[in-house]
Structure 1
């Protein structure tokens, strides 16, 4: 049994989905943002299925973003389970948060972002207010069986988040997919700090493309996704998304015809109307396209006074 609970969020993405899954354990996959409205929606959704908060045995996170990782606190009898990266956020560890700020400040400087936008680093931590105050009781990784749900396999599907997991039932050809494949939009491959500060920045778009391709190659009939309706006809949808990404990369490549550009300069051209309001999202998108072009050898990267520049190869 999979029962969908639709939960309002204060974010531009709109409502988020949580899924009640009945197996050997009664589990809730994702838990909405930590707002009063989300709490009431969860309460209603559980009641419709004949349950209360105290009946849930496991809260399983697809990823750590606040629209998915809020109301774990409401399930005091449940174990919280997810990818280890979730805990970097959930623990609110001061050392991690300081590293987080240094990582994003370094990114903004390398991207050639003007000084007046550098305070944006503080905004990157806003989601903490809508995340739960619990940490993981158990971690999951690639190839694990989903606890309490025989036949369900855990797959890492990084890119949109460095904590992202999907859950795959091969026999029924059903996937609970978080934000990897959504019905109406392609997820933004967000730039996030690596778990190990000594590692290089994750190439989020390349990860995301690989996750999409992997799901494309599975015999999936239906994906229960984190936002919107369930997704079917998965293969042509993913092919279309990957083709559109290549088109955007080609557009970014063309922007370098008149000389080398910084990430910030490319972002203002790609997103002239929204880059100031959504600086983090738009920079992430541009970095993704540049990472893709670097991986194909069609552009070159150079550094000057701590700022990275990109030009056609």
Structure 2
């Protein structure tokens, strides 16, 4: 059985503090590690000390996904401890070349109706976020069903694309324990984000469609406790899955109702109708990501069709 502690590390991001997990069984392991900042590193050291550990004791760092609040400190900790860093191959491709991904994201957002001014502001925001990451160098790339063996326990990876395409959860079967990263979080429904492929230009995965499939896969497991990347631990598993399902059905219905108002929309136009008072460019990015997810769902269900034109991307009712 795993013996673990929860570490709560500060971030400047809208999602708030990030939850990381210290596995005290041999080999000592950290699941996610917070942003690259002096404040985060100081907090991590202090909490490790409270539990009787130092950075040099860490032997493994397991990354759920390549967002700054989950992997930003990994390279620094590896340098201080010699720990092995594990990450999904798709996430490593993004971490290797974040500028390429940002440029492709900007191109996509123009295609989906976002103005040059907003795209410029968003690029500035993403560049600011990258300041909280120290680049990864030596990693071990892993995929689905990879097993980590501990003293008296095992952890198995579960690939859960959606929030990001290479997102990994870590599952301890004997106790029904799931470290869920941002696939399931305690205080709100995660956003499957717009994520151009780092390998195939102008290819976009259907993030929400894949996210729903990932939830179905997790729902079939005999889970007893979920430890998320944000918010509190989740013990009422069935209620959590139902609340997430209700949220997605409600939002899909809202977007479908908007589409009934006229024959065609851009994703940006729909986002502005749903959230007319957004204040930050990052909010509009998340809004367009969410709209695209539900558009993909409605398209798969045969309710609408998506059309690419010389001037951009249109959503039309059938």
Return the TM-score normalized by structure 1. 0.93
Take 1:158 and 1:301, find their aligned partners in 2: how far apart are those partners? 22
2:89 and 2:279 mapped to 1: Cα distance? Answer: 32
Which runs of structure 1 show a deviation greater than 4 angstroms over 4 or more consecutive aligned residues? 147-150
| Structure 1 residue aligned with 2:86 | 81
Query: Paired residue for 1:229, among 215, 227, 232?
Result: 232
Q: In the alignment, which residue of structure 2 is the partner of 1:193? A: 196
User: Aligned match of 1:283 in 279, 285, 288?
Assistant: 288
Worse-superposed segment, 197-206 or 158-167 = 197-206
Check conservation: 1:101, 1:122, Cα contact below 8 A: no
* Aligned pair partner of 1:182 in 179, 182, 185: 185
Other-structure match for 1:116? 117
Q: Distance in 2 between matches of 1:156 and 1:2?
A: 22
Identify unmatched segments of 5+ residues in structure 2. none
The CA distance in 1 between the partners of 2:249 and 2:129, in whole Å, is 30
1:258 alignment partner, one of 258, 261, 266: 261
Task: Give the alignment partner of residue 34 of structure 2, picking from 16, 32, 43.
Answer: 32
1:141 to 135, 140, 143: 143
Structure 2 CA distance for partners of 1:105 and 1:71, relative to 1, 3 Å: closer
Secondary structure of the 1:303 match is strand
Q: 1:229 to 1:252 in 2, by over 3 A?
A: same
Mind listing any 5+ residue stretches in structure 1 that lack a counterpart? none
Query: CA separation in 1, counterparts of 2:56 and 2:314?
Result: 54
Once residues 5 and 128 of structure 1 are traced to their aligned partners in structure 2, the CA distance between those partners, rounded to angstroms, is: 22
Choose which of 246, 250, 253 in structure 1 pairs with 2:249: 246
Which among 12, 15, 21 is matched to residue 14 of structure 2? 12
TM-score with structure 2 setting the length:
0.91
Q: Distance in 1 between matches of 2:280 and 2:37?
A: 26
User: d(CA) in 1 for partners of 2:309 and 2:166?
Assistant: 33
8 Å contact kept, 1:90–1:132: no
**Alignment correspondent of 1:299:** 304
Q: 2:223 maps to what in 1?
A: 220
- Give the CA deviation at 1:229: 1.1
Give me the whole-angstrom Cα distance separating, in 2, the residues matched to 1:136 and 1:273: 43
Whether contact under 8 Å (1:275, 1:282) holds in the other structure is no
Q: 8 Å contact 1:81–1:140 — kept in the other structure?
A: yes
Q: Alignment length, in residue pairs? A: 309
Q: Retained in 1: the 8 A contact 2:60–2:84?
A: yes
In 2, Cα distance between equivalents of 1:233 and 1:272: 34
Change in 2 beyond 3 A, CA 1:108/1:280? same
**How far, CA to CA, are the matches of 1:118 and 1:80 in structure 2?**
33
Q: What secondary structure does 2:254 align onto?
A: helix
Shift of 1:275: 6.2
**CA RMSD across the alignment:** 1.8
Larger mean Cα displacement after TM superposition, 109-118 or 210-219: 109-118
Contact 2:23–2:29 under 8 Å retained in 1: yes
CA distance in 2, matches of 1:303, 1:133: 36
Checking the alignment, whether the CA contact within 8 Å between 2:10 and 2:18 is kept in structure 1 is: yes
